[in-house]
Chains A and B, each alone.
Chain A
């Protein structure tokens, strides 16, 4: 007499429970088995309920000592290292989460952080915006009250580990997007923040120009530099000859454009971003710099924040279209 569906399901639950006790993910799995839902970011409709039976036509397979197969698998998993191997064909034991020595990994908030991070990584990959409601849904019901803490830690980990930033798209806080802080640029000419003195000055200059509507007069620039203790004609300890630096060096390197104001008599001059600045540094990055300096957030400059977001979208679109092998239809977000 073949086993009924119910007893099969019960046996499956029992096996899963037994396995769950030996894994550090035991909490998640036990609660999932109890509640009948799984700790996953999918909506309930899509569901993760295990399929109750194989498709029609399957014969009653011998139990094949399944416990021993799982035991063998578990044994090979525990003896194998996690992570990549240069030899061999073992999948690093996927059923073993970790023999983690970190107590924080069993704390439910940490687990939710992991869940939410992966959810956001997927959104980043697809270049999709994220609704706050969707993030809330991604978190297990019983941990929802910890959501602000979870979100804060997720955001922090996202930056620290992945160099990604979770940003509000609009100040109302209902829509977010994930962007790279690394300014993915394939020409390899991206520079770090403080690699050479020039850059120490470049960022403030670009920020100033951006604030002034992408074009700043020479008078404004000098007024600004004076605040920083840099004066026209006076040699600076770090920057040397400031006039030469901003009107020649940085111009030659294409970070700045120094041009005469149209029809000005006597001639006056203005500064704009150079092509290399446009290529390497995003408006968002500059705005972040400004925000940091002023101890506030980018969205505190709403007008420029909008512009920076637009700039970001265009860059993302350009990047997606420029990827080799990507068909134009693939660059469009899925509806």
Chain B
């Protein structure tokens, strides 16, 4: 028996298997969702056991997945710093991953959008600019109207995010495609000065040009009244965002739902 199968046999229980199946089905999950998923799997299969700490639980599973070049990867959304998790394949390029969901011309539209995103200063590509490339697509001819729908499909499937008519990469896409992007766009890839990961959206120093993710900015400059560039020490000119706090998030969610139920009662 291979050592990998021995390890799997030793670690994997139905709790872990169900967890993997459901994680795969959902694609990408936020931290609170994945915690809930873990609890659910325990409840279904092994309600007497104590729920293992999420980090250890995931590390255990990853040690089994390692030999398959698959990993439960944790990332952070670039705009508001939410932790997200996805099951990623480290051995293949991700566009082929999308191939099961999209047609050839749709994949090519995605590549074109990715080109524009990588080339832009802000990490965003306008819908107009993407749609103008519709004639250059491989495969079946696509009209602009169709292309608009396809872009929406990308957003729904969490490959792209749309903000006021512009598109950038979803956290999930960055999680899955970091290696691919680094290899495909070695000249235009941007890196965060703090965490050294791929950067699509972020803030940049106007003097020396280094870039930082918004959540990295939030952490680095937390409670710092005079934020200065870590590289050239010049005054940091941008608004410092707040650090993501899952507790505040939950409270906001509860008060939102209270407001909603109040509204319905008023009818």
Contact = CB atoms under 8 A, between A and B. Distances in A.
Interface of A: 8, 12, 15-16, 25, 28, 38-43, 45-46, 48, 50-51, 54-55, 57-58, 61, 63, 66, 69-70, 72-73, 76, 81-86, 88-92, 94-95, 97-98, 100, 102, 104-105, 110-111, 113-115, 117-118, 121-126, 128, 156-157, 160-164, 180-182, 184-185, 188, 190, 192, 334
7 contacts: A51-B115, A83-B55, A84-B59, A88-B195, A114-B89, A115-B69, A124-B25
A111 B91 CA distance: 8
A142 to B, nearest CB: 16
A190 B222 CA distance: 48
B216 A89 contact: yes
B237 interface: no
Given A46-B95, A48-B93, A114-B67, A84 B58 contact: yes
A117 B70 contact: yes
A123 B101 CA distance: 10
A219 to B, nearest CB: 37
A50 B67 contact: no
Contact of A54 (B59, B95, B118): B118
Nearest to B181: A94
A48 B95 contact: yes
Which DSSP category, helix, strand, loop or mixed, fits chain A's interface? loop
A58 B219 contact: no
B179 to A, nearest CB: 5
A143 B99 CA distance: 22
A191 B67 CA distance: 31
Contacts of B5: 156-157, 160
Contact of A70 (B45, B62, B115, B182): B182
Sorted from nearest, which 6 A-B pairs have the closest CB atoms? A163-B17, A42-B96, A114-B68, A40-B92, A84-B74, A118-B89
B184 interface: yes
B173 interface: no
A178 to B, nearest CB: 10
A104 B67 contact: yes
A216 to B, nearest CB: 30
B68 A117 contact: yes
B229 interface: no
B101 A16 contact: no
A91 B73 contact: yes
Interface in B201-220: 213, 215-216, 219
Interface hub of B24, B185, B187 (most chain A Cβ within 10 A):
B187
Contact of B8 (A15, A69, A92, A160): A160
Given A42-B95, A57-B119, A115-B91, A161 B54 contact: no
A97 B67 CA distance: 9
Given A42-B92, A61-B188, A102-B2, 11 more contacts: A38-B92, A46-B104, A48-B93, A55-B116, A86-B54, A97-B91, A115-B69, A117-B70, A126-B101, A157-B8, A162-B20
A314 to B, nearest CB: 18
